[in-house]
Amino acid sequence: MGGVRCLPLLCQVLWLHQDAVELESMEVQKFYRSMRAAGGLIAALLVLGQVVGNAAAPDDVLAARRGWRWLTTKAYLPPDFDQQVFDNLWQHWEEPARTAAEQATPEERRRLTFSRYGLTENPDRPEGVALQYVANGNGGWSMNCLACHTGKVAGKVVLGAPNSLYALQTLTDDVRLTKLPLGKPFAHMDKGALLYPLGGSIGTTNAVMFGKILMTYRDPDLGVHVRGLPTGLLHHDHDAPAWWNVKKKKRLYADAFVPKNHRAIMQFLLIPSNGPDKFRAWEKEYRDILAWIEAVEAPRFPWPVDGELARAGEHVFRSHCAECHGTYGSASSYPERVIPIDEIGTDRVRFDSLDADSRGAYAGSWFTRLDELETVLEPKGYVAPPLDGIWASAPYLHNGSVPTLWHLFHPAQRPVVWQRDEDGYDRERVGLTVRARDELPADATDPRQKRRYFDTRLPGKSAQGHDFPDRLSPDEKRQVLEYLKTL
């Protein structure tokens, strides 16, 4: 049976016939149920070694299962807020949201709160801490990686999907307003947001600058120091990539400058209270977390696909797109090709935001000492990503500026300003259900309201570039669009 990636059909059989499978332990059953409730076939994948003929689980399956446990139960960061703060957030919302929450039942108010901030229920702890946070044992909510890397697609939670509804800046602003009258101390996120922006729109964050700021206060061995404020900060919003494609990559980030390893995904733990000893102590756990990330599989398009149109689209794709994005199916390949910035033509703020000194500081640090590949100090552009599950990873481009694949294929018709709804899905255009505008509405005066709109005129948020689909005929565009649903 070989390994976790060789039996997709059997994984689906296990999914469909869960009751016929005898699981070995209550722990595995609990894990299976929680993953299944979260909406992924990954549940069957991760317990495969435990359920087939009572065979011993492969090491990567065990590591992935441990990784899920670390990710969802262990607090690696201090809490951002406690339950009392969470329960009172609504009191500081702008109107009419505040009145709606005031008139709601406690259950409805919780739903409104989750909706406002892009949070989802953890199936293993309903009515408890959200899936994107971990209970720290003292009533606190500590952020985990799923805050950015697991969200809803068409109203259902999809593990590893970009959380395109996560409202980090709004949540932090509301937390700070709530803490003041309660006499609660500000946490690291509350303080940081007073100095640096966290995100200009829901679903995107200033993640690249977070990393640069945090690295400023570390020596190569991750010892903490204070030698002045970070300089050369070019704040911009970034869209989280889909985790199910990590397994295909040798490098991480939009410009592919970082070699992939488990240490690289620990960079965002670099708050001052996490000293070098903690990183070394946690390293084994993050090996497991990376194993879980690499076990996540892309979700299948859940609606009918025009097979004839998709087959025609595959031929067009192989002729026009595969050179950069790879091939799919039984003989798949991924070239991990970096496209020069002037050729791709997409917003270059991300590209310009890290200079050679910043990249060099990372390259000389503890994070890279396991790497067989070199850190790229002067990248040439952006990497063309794998397209598995692309239907579920909207919005598109590295900054999340394009709401649907149809808009990606029609550059001249990309909206200037757009607002998405929470649970809708555009099956024809493949992506978010949005309302397009030429301007922000006049009544969107509160910053928290403005962040619900994606304004492509703002720095770092341009929807220009990737004009390659203009080389295709209208029929070819429809064909490729249909084919992409099948990946």
* Confidence check: pLDDT of 20 > 60: no
* Confidence check: pLDDT of 435 > 80: yes
* Confidence check: pLDDT of 113 > 50: yes
Summarised one tens digit per residue, pLDDT across range 196-210 is 999 999 999 999 999
Top-confidence range, 23-32, 223-232, 442-451: 442-451
* Confidence check: pLDDT of 36 > 90: no
Mean pLDDT over each residue of the chain, to the nearest integer: 89
Residue 127's pLDDT is 79
Residue 47's pLDDT is 39
User: How far, CA to CA in Å, does 345 sit from each of 169, 231, 350?
Assistant: 28, 27, 12
Confidence of residue 37 (pLDDT cuts 50, 70, 90): very low
Confidence of residue 12 (pLDDT cuts 50, 70, 90): very low
At 418, phi and psi to the nearest 5? -145, 150
Of 4 and 327, more confident: 327
- Show the 3-state SS of the chain: CCCCCCCHHHHHHHHHCHHHCCCCCHHHHHHHHHHHHCCCCHHHHHCHHHHCCCCCCCHHHHHHHHHHHHHHHCCCCCCCEEHHHHHHHHHHCCCCHHHHHHCCCHHHHHHHHHHHHCCCCCCCCCCCCCCCEEECCCCEEEECCHHHHEEEECCEEEECCCCCCCCHHHHHHHHHHHHHHHCCCCCHHHHHHHHCCCCCCCCEECHHHHHHHHHHCECCCCCECCCCCCCCCCCCCEECCCHHHHHHCCEECCCCCEECCCCHHHHHHCCCCCCHHHHHHHHHHHHHHHHHHHHCCCCCCCCCCCHHHHHHHHHHHHHHCHHHHCECCCCCECCCCEEEHHHHCCCCHHHHCCCHHHHHHHHCCHHHCCCCCCCCCCCCEEECCCCCCHHHCCCECCCCCECEHHHHHCHHHCCCEEEECCCCCECCCCECCEEEECCCCCCCCCHHHHCCCEECCCCCCCCCCCCHHHHCCHHHHHHHHHHHCCC
Residue 229's pLDDT is 82
The mean pLDDT of 412-433, rounded to a whole number, is: 97
The mean pLDDT of 284-297, rounded to a whole number, is: 97
Reading the block at residue 311, the tokens are 């087959």
* Confidence check: pLDDT of 43 > 90: no
Of 27 and 125, more confident: 125
Residue 64's pLDDT is 96
Residue 41's pLDDT is 42
Summarised one tens digit per residue, pLDDT across range 298-321 is 999 999 999 999 999 999 999 999
Summarised one tens digit per residue, pLDDT across range 340-392 is 999 999 999 999 999 999 999 999 999 999 878 899 999 999 999 999 999 99
Amino acid at position 285, single letter: E
* Confidence check: pLDDT of 5 > 70: no
Of 226 and 55, more confident: 226
Summarised one tens digit per residue, pLDDT across range 62-106 is 999 999 999 999 999 999 999 999 999 999 999 999 999 999 999
Residue 57's pLDDT is 64
Of 45 and 184, more confident: 184
Summarised one tens digit per residue, pLDDT across range 250-282 is 999 999 999 999 999 999 999 999 999 999 999
Summarised one tens digit per residue, pLDDT across range 456-475 is 999 999 999 999 999 999 99
Confidence of residue 32 (pLDDT cuts 50, 70, 90): very low
Summarised one tens digit per residue, pLDDT across range 137-159 is 899 999 999 999 999 999 999 99
Decide: pTM greater than 0.85.
Answer: yes
Confidence of residue 226 (pLDDT cuts 50, 70, 90): confident
Residue 123's pLDDT is 87
Summarised one tens digit per residue, pLDDT across range 120-138 is 999 888 778 999 999 998 9
Q: C-alpha angle with apex 71: 375 to 157, nearest 5 degrees?
A: 105
Confidence of residue 18 (pLDDT cuts 50, 70, 90): very low
